[in-house]
Amino acid sequence: MQILDIASFLPSVVVDNQQLGRLTGLAAGYFQQRTGILERRRAADGENTNTLAVRAATALLARHPQAVAAIDLIIGCSYTSWDLIGTIAHAVQRACGLVRARAFTLSSACSSVSNALEVCAAFFDAGRSQQVLVVAADHNSLYSDDTDRQSGHLWGDGAAALLLTRTAAPSAQFELLDVWTAGLGHVGLGPAAVGLMPRGAGLVMPHGRDVFVQAVEGMTVAAQTVLERNGVRAADLRLLAPHQANQRILDQVAKRLGLGPTQVASTIARYGNTGCASAVITLAEHQAQCAAGELALLVTFGGGYSSGAALLRRL
Amino acid sequence: MQILDIASFLPSVVVDNQQLGRLTGLAAGYFQQRTGILERRRAADGENTNTLAVRAATALLARHPQAVAAIDLIIGCSYTSWDLIGTIAHAVQRACGLVRARAFTLSSACSSVSNALEVCAAFFDAGRSQQVLVVAADHNSLYSDDTDRQSGHLWGDGAAALLLTRTAAPSAQFELLDVWTAGLGHVGLGPAAVGLMPRGAGLVMPHGRDVFVQAVEGMTVAAQTVLERNGVRAADLRLLAPHQANQRILDQVAKRLGLGPTQVASTIARYGNTGCASAVITLAEHQAQCAAGELALLVTFGGGYSSGAALLRRL
């Protein structure tokens, strides 16, 4: 199973800490100190999960026109739906003319891409698919509140797309060596810690401390599980591409795994937490650091809770 | 791959056509004539997709306590989320203590269960799972409007759960012989025909005529595809368990397939369109019609668009 190519799309509107400082009455420096975030991108009027997903998918498929007729499965990843019936997978199918593809969207919040990669691996292993498009998009600001002092400053909007092939492709970027996921709804405060109630409070994080503790534990265990079962030491990783929840969470995960700062990719300062897309956006922006044969580990954590990790070798 | 058991849960509040007639100014008989619906169930205050899903899963697992430690994957199916982060899969994991399971929720709207069965088949075929819980729940009335004359009368609330095993189980109810799905986002009006915009218009069906045409075509083709590739004639089916979109759609699908009225299961008169759960609720209520060795076909259509079908043999 190979990742033929990756693309990302970030909307152009920038919201910086000064703006959120004015809205919340908190010092702008507080947001950076607490989270490492300097600014985040926001969808403009008329942009939503479906348009963000289409932008990322279109950018990817423009480089791979032959894939349009070959893709037999589209897996959307999103928890901030604009339309819960016409999902991002269906919008991408229509916009990109992927007429041969099955289509559905899945969510375990910010760990969704790990689940999508595992579904993809299962379809490939079972001979049910040959070429899969995974597209992740979140429009957190549709449901978040910039005046929310607890978590309003965390959220950014963004999208990413991955083109995966069952068999070896000459120009592929990564071999996917292994993928592992875990449901953690039973752990800590589970589904109560972070919520997105569209007809209720919107996107809120009433129990940030529990999220911090469980995200560090969940991403560390996911990474260790995949490293151990593949006989890889953390020191052998060229790159960890983690879900961008909070720089302090990333620092703790790096410390627990014994990784140095150059091994851990981060985009949170510029994009904030972009949800399902964040680990893939981060991998896309840092993949040039990996030389052929070097290893990267994508690791995710979802606020419901869930976790996952995927071990990649640069081709 | 076998379906060990099926359970459903319908909330107790009933809304009949007289009530909707008063709210819309339309004659109560109009709803029945247009859709076959006499009444539908509605979640009460405090009920939502997560509580409905937990009720169905709890009822199922009460009959299979040994499954709690064995389930290694929970697939939720829902498009009317109460909480888009703590999804129904995560709520069920926590409430039922399914500590070994991966967990995510997927959606292609009302065809989601077909996608879940295909994911399940892929996990089994690839040796990634041994026992899977699929749980479907929709709380349409959270997002629908009873005064909406176009589609407010269609929607009911309900949930269903399926316990699936990779290998033969002594008391299993059905063998799953085949499952097939298609993404149809590119067909007709696609994602624009039905919508659920949580921060917009809610659950609406601006293009009911296109939905009717595409649902008849989509379910007919899905059924024909699975029948043909398994060498089964429509006449050999004991039971068609279709998504309960509208009785007139079911009648047209039956006519296109050449099925007689006793072959087509319907629960729409009492429950309306219960979304992701509807085909499974209908299968659960009619499965006693199938004797050992007889064939049933579950067939679905999702409003984004998507379709799917699964061929079952009663054990």
Angle (CA) A106-A110-A115 rounded to 5° is 45
Q: What is the pLDDT of residues A253-299, one digit of tens each?
A: 999 999 998 999 999 999 999 999 999 999 999 999 999 999 999 99
* Cα–Cα nearest to A200, from B84, B75, B155, B210: B84
- For residue B119, give the chain A residue with the closest CA: A119
CB pairs under 8 A between A and B: 223
Q: Which residue of A has its CA nearest to B306?
A: A103
Phi-psi region of A52 (alpha: psi -120 to 50; beta: other; left: phi over 0): alpha
Rounded distance between C-alpha atoms, residue A259 and residue A241, angstroms: 12
Residue A271 backbone phi and psi in degrees, to 5: -120, -10
- CB of B113 closer than 8 Å to CB of B135: no
**Is any Cβ of chain B less than 8 angstroms from the Cβ of A103?**
yes
pTM: 0.98
Cα–Cα separations (whole angstroms), residue A271 to A154, A169, A217, B107, B282: 9, 32, 23, 27, 46
Please tell me the distance in Å from A46's CA to the nearest CA on chain B: 12
Report the share of chain A in percent with pLDDT over 70: 100
Q: Coil, helix or strand for B250?
A: helix
Q: Do B82 and A197 touch (CB under 8 A)?
A: yes
Beta strand segments in chain A, E: 2-9, 13-16, 39-42, 73-77, 102-107, 131-139, 157-165, 174-183, 195-197, 202-204, 237-242, 295-302, 306-314
Q: What are phi and psi of B198, to 5 degrees?
A: -60, -35
Of B84, B118, B190, the CB nearest to A107: B84
Q: Spelled out in words, what is the top-level CATH class assigned to the domain A174-314?
A: alpha beta
User: What per-residue confidence (pLDDT) applies to A59?
Assistant: 98
**pLDDT number for residue B228:** 98
Exposure of B59 by Cβ count < 10 A (0-12 exposed, 13-18 middle, 19+ buried)? middle
Would you call A276 an interface residue with chain B, using a CB distance cutoff of 8 Å?
no
CB distance from B245 to chain A under 8 Å?
no
3-state secondary structure (DSSP) of residue B277: helix
Cβ atoms of B140 and B262 within 8 Å: the answer is no
pLDDT attached to residue A210: 98
Q: Do domains B2-165 and B174-314 have the same CATH topology?
A: yes
Nearest CA in chain A to B101: A183
Chain B partners within 8 Å of A306 (Cβ): 90, 102-104
User: How many Å apart are CA A127 and CA B122, to the nearest integer?
Assistant: 8
Give the separation between CA B208 and CA B187, rounded to whole angstroms: 14
Provide the annotated active-site residues of A: 110, 243, 273
CA distances from B12 to A251, B39, B42, B104, B155 (A): 50, 12, 7, 28, 15
Q: Tell me, what DSSP letter sits at residue A110? A: B
Whether A195 contacts chain B with CB within 8 A:
yes
pLDDT of residue A61: 98
Buried b / exposed e along A98-116 (16+ C-beta atoms within 10 A): bbbbbbbbbbbbbbbbbbb
CA distance A89 to B304: 9
Chain A contact present for B214, CB below 8 A: no
Q: Please give the residue of chain B at the shortest CA–CA distance from A192.
A: B86
Question: How near does any CA of chain B get to the CA of A260, in Å?
Answer: 30
Catalytic residue among B77, B273, B286, B290: B273
For the stretch A170-195, pLDDT in tens is 999 999 999 999 999 999 999 999 99
**What is the C-alpha to C-alpha distance for residues B84 and B78, in angstroms, rounded to an integer?**
10
Secondary element (H or E) of residue A113: helix A112-125
Nearest CA in chain A to B90: A185
- All residues of chain B having their beta carbon less than 8 Å from the beta carbon of residue A54 are none
**DSSP secondary structure string, A118-129?**
HHHHHHHHTTS-
Q: Do A89 and B122 touch (CB under 8 A)?
A: no
Least Cα distance to B89 among A220, A253, A106 occurs for A106
Domain map of chain A by residue range?
Answer: 2-165, 174-314
Q: Does the beta-carbon distance from B127 to A127 stay under 8 Å?
A: no
Peptide linkage before B143 cis (omega within 30 of 0): no
A183 touches chain B (CB under 8 A): yes
Cβ–Cβ contact B293 with A under 8 A: no
CB B135 within 8 A of CB B112: no
Which residues of chain B are modeled with pLDDT < 50?
none
Is the minimum CB–CB distance between A102 and chain B shorter than 8 Å? yes
Assess contact for B101 and B74: CB atoms under 8 A: yes
Which residue in the block uniquely carries the two structure tokens 């720089």?
Answer: A247
What interface predicted TM-score (ipTM) does this complex get? 0.98
Which CATH superfamily is B2-165 part of? Thiolase/Chalcone synthase (3.40.47.10)
| pLDDT tens per residue across all 315 residues of chain A | 999 999 999 999 999 999 999 999 999 999 999 999 999 999 999 999 999 999 999 999 999 999 999 999 999 999 999 999 999 999 999 999 999 999 999 999 999 999 999 999 999 999 999 999 999 999 999 999 999 999 999 999 999 999 999 999 999 999 999 999 999 999 999 999 999 999 999 999 999 999 999 999 999 999 999 999 999 999 999 999 999 999 999 999 999 999 998 999 999 999 999 999 999 999 999 999 999 999 999 999 999 999 999 999 999
